[in-house]
Chains A and B, each alone.
Chain A
Amino acid sequence: MNSSKKIVLVGNFGVGKSSLMRRFVQNTFSENYTVTIGVHILKKEIRIDEFNFTLIIWDIEGKDDIQKVRPSYLLGTSGFVFVIDPTRPQTFERLNEELDFIKLNYPTAQIVTVCNKSDLINIDEFKERLLKSNTSIDFFASAKQGDEVENIFYTVGMTKENNV
């Protein structure tokens, strides 16, 4: 069985959405920061058990508010990857609010939260900090070092319910 899925990377600008996508699809990383204008699309074919999946990954330009993203970019999404930068609080201060918006408007899509640049922080301390604000993160990843990147994309959009 072969199935295609639209995966959308969302989050503030500069959190590393493009870096995560490039690490996953091309296994490359660059220290040079380039701003994504509009949308950048890449694809990767993966195999989970006996199923083949074609992931069409949409890397959308960073916005400080998910509601500012063009709604048509988000339609038909199987899985959202919400990325934050632990070194910039403004990228996760409104995380719960943003996630609620996605759940409300795209109920069939799965959401995973990713703390990128986790090589720059003490993960345990950061988890405690998040706990105080009742926020949780699914993956502590690093596009630079490649930590957890594969797991993110193998997890997102793979639930039976959202096999659109």
Chain B
Amino acid sequence: MTDSEKLIKLKQLLLNEDREFAQNILQKLEDLEETVRVYEKLSEKVNPIIDKKFDAFIEEIPSKLGPTIANALTKSQDSVVEALFPMIGKMVKKYIQQEIKTLSDNINNQVQYTFSIKTWQRKIKAIFTGVSEKEIILSEMNRAVIEQIFVIENGSGIIISSASKKESIDQDMIAGMLTAIKSFVEDAFMKDQQGLELIQYELFEIYIKNFTTYYFAVVISGGCDVIFKNKLEDKLFDIAAKIKTDAIDKEQITTKLNEFINE
């Protein structure tokens, strides 16, 4: 074996291990390249990590983002209201329009398909009064109803008598608070010989009729027009005429009130 042959043999012996190592790295690089390039293989490796992170993120949303969202909403409350208001307004408007349409349809049905004596009476009334039949029906549908009636002692606010169509909250408290409100209003405006006559809340009205030592408070639901109020006043005067202030007969007044409320 010549010297050059020996040198080649030596090179082979020395470099063989490096070559194998380089070959391994090359193979791994090719595998890695394939993993990145081929979607299925990449998904197989990456998806479990993403899923794990995503689960952790979902769990942290309430604690991390909750206060941030609440804070952002509070800061921009006016903007949120401004943005929502037109939408809510439209919804309410649409609802009211729908309800009016339903009401109108009901009235039309009554006008067109009912041939009872009452209908003819209504038609005659419409001709003579000049008020349209629809409006008459509307007023009939929204007729004022007396829900409760109280006779309350002026000043003390102590209830003398009461009548109610259904069980109500504490009547002593109502009488006391009504008297306090009445006293406040009458004092605040300091007008002699004048008194609070009406309290309105939503669909109810509290009509107040003052007498010397007591007053009536009548809770009314529905449309309360002048004609109804006139009739109510007449009735209250009738009851008042039977109340003797020197010797109040509570039982007698309660009987009268119950008769009145159930008429």
Q: What residues of chain A have their CB less than 8 Å away from a CB belonging to chain B?
A: 4-6, 38-39, 41-43, 54, 56, 58, 70-73, 75-78, 164
Contacts and interface: CB of A to CB of B under 8 A. Distances in A.
Nearest to B172: A43
B156 A77 contact: yes
Interface stretch (B55-63, B101-109, B178-186): B178-186
A75 B154 contact: yes
Interface string B168-204: 0010110011001001101100000000000000000
A71 B74 CA distance: 45
A43 B173 contact: yes
Contacts of B67: none
Nearest to B153: A76
A72 to B, nearest CB: 3
B183 A76 contact: no
B190 to A, nearest CB: 11
B156 A41 contact: no
Contacts of A39: 180, 184
A73 B180 contact: yes
Contacts of A41: 157, 173, 176-177, 180
A37 to B, nearest CB: 11
B170 A43 contact: yes
Given A76-B154, A76-B156, A70 B187 contact: yes
Interface in B137-181: 153-159, 170, 172-173, 176-177, 180
Given A39-B180, A41-B173, A56-B172, A76 B187 contact: no
B158 A72 contact: no
Given A38-B180, A76-B156, 19 more contacts: A4-B159, A6-B157, A6-B158, A38-B184, A39-B180, A41-B173, A41-B177, A43-B173, A56-B156, A70-B183, A70-B184, A70-B187, A72-B187, A73-B180, A75-B155, A75-B183, A76-B153, A78-B156, A164-B156
